[in-house]
């Protein structure tokens, strides 16, 4: 987050004069910007799940690639993190995905509460803040509602990405892919049945990234996740491995993002 903050201060004047802003905050291509954005009544109902107090706002973090023109169509990577060590979505955005996704021409987005640890860090808490961040993106850049969206997560964040992607699809967002690293429990079937995004969602590209020496999500567990998805009817799954542990490999993020772009309709 320090890198994002320094970049923001370094380029704020130039960006403001160029007229690019996110939720009223000047936006610099190639860096992160952070904005406090409101929650709708629906989003408040999500974040209050489990007795959570509803915060005054969502903290939305956005990064756009150099050459960003909001009049064009851009793919958006929505990032989810694990609850481990009180990680927030924006932490993984900056720490794991930012350089690779920006180099591939993707917009990155994350939404979180203003405090790191709610009473219950539930899928509802993450869903409400993510939806508020997407609302802010759509208000800032008319037309972005139709931009293709990929969800990404590692470990517990992978469970969240797979669980919340059907919710976003059911809400009208165009889901173009799901990147899951180190996932040891299949969650997308439950969510698909709950939110009912339609049978076309079963064709969504899903990229499973598995470390062959992962002690948290073993290769056998990740293979079981894939098999469970296939039994549900998901038909567009890639399962790629690498010789390492419970980590995200930038090369596989890059491979997944390029695959998602090819599968967009029309291709980007």
Looking at residue 87, its pLDDT comes to 86
- Which residues fall within 8 angstroms of residue 231, CB to CB, at 6 or more apart? none
- Assigned token pair, 131: 């939806």
pLDDT tens-digit profile, the chain (268 residues): 544 544 444 444 343 435 899 999 999 999 999 999 999 999 999 999 999 999 999 999 999 999 999 999 999 999 999 988 778 999 999 999 999 999 999 999 999 999 867 889 999 999 999 999 999 999 999 999 999 999 999 999 999 999 999 999 999 999 999 999 999 999 999 999 999 999 999 999 999 999 999 999 999 999 999 999 999 999 999 999 999 999 999 999 999 999 999 876 666 6
Q: Go through 211-249 and write b for each residue having 16 or more CB atoms within 10 A of its CB, e for each that does not.
A: beebeebbeebbeebbeebeeeebeebebebbeeebbbb
* pLDDT for res 10: 44
Q: What is the pTM of this model?
A: 0.91
User: What CA–CA distance (Å, rounded) separates 93 from 110?
Assistant: 7
Q: What is the pLDDT of residue 19?
A: 80
Using CA atoms, how far residue 71 sits from 62, 139, 189, 198, 238, in Å, is: 17, 13, 36, 29, 32
* CATH architecture entry for 2-263: 3-Layer(aba) Sandwich (3.40)
CA angle 264, 267, 268 (to 5 degrees): 100
User: Is the separation of the CB atoms in 154 and 87 below 8 Å?
Assistant: no
């Amino acid at each position: 987050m320090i890198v994002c903050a320094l970049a923001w201060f370094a380029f704020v004047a130039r960006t403001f004069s160029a007229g690019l802003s996110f939720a009223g905050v000047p936006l610099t291509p190639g860096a992160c910007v952070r904005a406090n954005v409101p929650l709708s009544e629906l989003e408040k109902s999500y974040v209050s799940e489990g007795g959570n107090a509803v915060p005054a706002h969502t903290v939305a973090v956005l990064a756009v690639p150099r050459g960003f023109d909001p009049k064009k169509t851009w793919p958006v990577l929505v990032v989810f993190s694990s609850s481990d060590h009180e990680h927030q979505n924006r932490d993984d955005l900056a720490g794991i995905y930012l350089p690779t996704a920006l180099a591939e021409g993707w917009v990155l987005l994350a939404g979180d509460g203003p405090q790191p640890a709610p009473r219950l860090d539930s899928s509802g808490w993450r869903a409400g803040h993510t939806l508020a961040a997407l609302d802010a993106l759509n208000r800032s850049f008319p037309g972005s509602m139709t931009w293709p969206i990929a969800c990404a997560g590692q470990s517990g964040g992978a469970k969240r990405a797979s669980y919340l992607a059907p919710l976003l699809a059911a809400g009208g967002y165009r889901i173009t892919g799901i990147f899951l690293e180190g996932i040891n429990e299949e969650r997308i079937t439950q969510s698909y049945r709950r939110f009912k995004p339609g049978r076309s969602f079963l064709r969504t590209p899903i990229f499973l990234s598995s470390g062959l020496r992962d002690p948290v999500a073993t290769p056998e567990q990740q293979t079981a996740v894939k098999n469970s998805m296939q039994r549900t009817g998901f038909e567009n799954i890639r399962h790629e491995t690498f010789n390492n542990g419970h980590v995200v490999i930038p090369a596989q993020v890059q491979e997944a993002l390029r695959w998602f772009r090819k599968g967009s309709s029309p291709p980007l």
